Amino acid sequence: MSKEEVIAAIQQSAAQMGHAPSFAELEKTMRISKRAIHGHFPSYREALRAAGMDRTGGGYKNDTGTMLLDWAETVRKLGKIPTMVEYNLHGNYSLSALTRRFRAWGHMPSALLEYAKKEGMKDGWEDVLTTIGMHMKAGEDGKSTRTSTGTSIIRRILTDRPVYGRPMMDMALGLAPTNEMGVVFLFGTVAKQLGFMVIRLQSEFPDCEAFWEVEPGRWQWVRIEFEYESRNFLAHGHKMDGCDLLVCWKNNWEGCPLEVIELSTVMEELRKIG
């Protein structure tokens, strides 16, 4: 699908639903895949914006209770605490709206429990409350054996250099990449959030083989080439039919026939919601 066709499909779905559609609603009404969205936009939220709407508007109430209950419905649907990617697929609010309201994505379980206690929310929600309780207990049980990075390994201290306090920035790569290797590393840090599972990396073309989620619960094999700038693909003489997806830091190839993920745009979007 072209970018214009994706936008038209979102607008048509909105007309049918009477509000800005969630991705699940768009998929149901227009039979459009996640791959079609990400072929032109870094996130579903950006696709909605291009269509002139946002899931925080268009008939949705933005009070705290309604937002929490929508998140709780996603917990019920999945049978577990959703990741940001999973909520973005199944929920009815933008991730930025929730993180602005509740300060951080990780605060959602405790916010729901606090709301449930305050409002006497019990009947009909036992399954959700049990799921949240088990999730929070598992987190408490793991605190004593895990470091701030989430690993239970305590590494040896090197005696020829100083020891510092914990990082104040929650990121694996502290500065923007300046070369292809930086792009490869950065992609690895966000691959799971973007719906990828990498299965092979190599020095030959193409650089990477992975599975990506094309629809909820459905995955396909894809060949990926990494470049710092997308036009470097041409400079390196790569064949178009040997690659399915181009991942770069800067997309400067107008009319690129391959699907492109521009990580500078992706990281900006993740920064807004995280």
For residue range 32-63, list pLDDT tens digits in order.
887 888 888 877 777 887 887 755 543 434 46
172 inside domain? no
Provide the residue type at 130 as one letter: T
pLDDT above 80 (res 188): yes
% pLDDT > 70, the chain: 85
Q: For the residues 184-188, what does the mean pLDDT come to?
A: 95
pLDDT above 50 (res 29): yes
Q: Do 194 and 268 lie in a common domain? A: yes
**pTM (2 decimals)?**
0.46
State how far the Cα of 244 lies from the Cα of 221, in Å rounded to an integer: 10
Q: Do 55 and 101 lie in a common domain? A: no
Q: For the residues 110-133, what does the mean pLDDT come to?
A: 84
Q: For the residues 166-174, what does the mean pLDDT come to?
A: 71
pLDDT value for 155: 58
Q: Do 74 and 124 lie in a common domain? A: yes
259 inside domain? yes
107 inside domain? yes
CB 5 within 8 A of CB 11: no
Q: Do 184 and 114 lie in a common domain? A: no
Nearest residue to 6 via CA among 91, 60, 34: 34
pLDDT above 50 (res 116): yes
Select from 45, 60, 75 the last residue of a domain. Answer: 60
214 inside domain? yes
Provide the residue type at 123 as one letter: D
Q: Do 103 and 125 lie in a common domain? A: yes
pLDDT value for 225: 97
CB 115 within 8 A of CB 121: yes
What does DSSP assign to residue 6? Answer: H
Q: For the residues 189-202, what does the mean pLDDT come to?
A: 91
Q: Do 84 and 137 lie in a common domain? A: yes
Of 109 and 21, the one with more pLDDT = 109
Select from 60, 86, 105 the last residue of a domain. Answer: 60
pLDDT value for 141: 56
3-class secondary structure for 32-81? CCHHHHHCCCCCHHHHHHHCCCCCCCCCCCCCHHHHHHHHHHHHHHHCCC
Q: Do 66 and 36 lie in a common domain? A: no
pLDDT value for 149: 46
Of 251 and 92, the one with more pLDDT = 251
CA angle 49-89-227, nearest 5°? 70
78 inside domain? yes
pLDDT above 90 (res 200): yes
Q: Do 109 and 46 lie in a common domain? A: no
Q: Do 79 and 54 lie in a common domain? A: no
pLDDT value for 161: 77
Select from 60, 77, 103 the last residue of a domain. Answer: 60
166 inside domain? no
For residue range 228-274, list pLDDT tens digits in order.
999 999 999 999 999 999 999 999 998 889 999 999 988 888 777 65
pLDDT value for 134: 86
170 inside domain? no
Q: Do 76 and 129 lie in a common domain? A: yes
pLDDT value for 209: 96
Give the H or E element holding residue 226: strand 218-229
* Averaged pLDDT score across all residues of the chain: 81
Q: Do 54 and 66 lie in a common domain? A: no
CB 12 within 8 A of CB 30: yes
pLDDT above 70 (res 137): yes
State how far the Cα of 5 lies from the Cα of 63, in Å rounded to an integer: 33
pLDDT value for 55: 55
Q: Do 133 and 199 lie in a common domain? A: no
pLDDT above 80 (res 224): yes
Tokens 């390994």 belong to residue: 153
158 inside domain? no
**In residues, how long is the chain?**
274
Range of the domain at 210: 180-273
The number of domains in the chain is 3
State how far the Cα of 49 lies from the Cα of 180, in Å rounded to an integer: 30
User: Could you give the strand order of the β-sheet that contains 208-215, starting from the edge strand earlier in sequence?
Assistant: 196-201, 208-215, 218-229, 245-250, 259-262
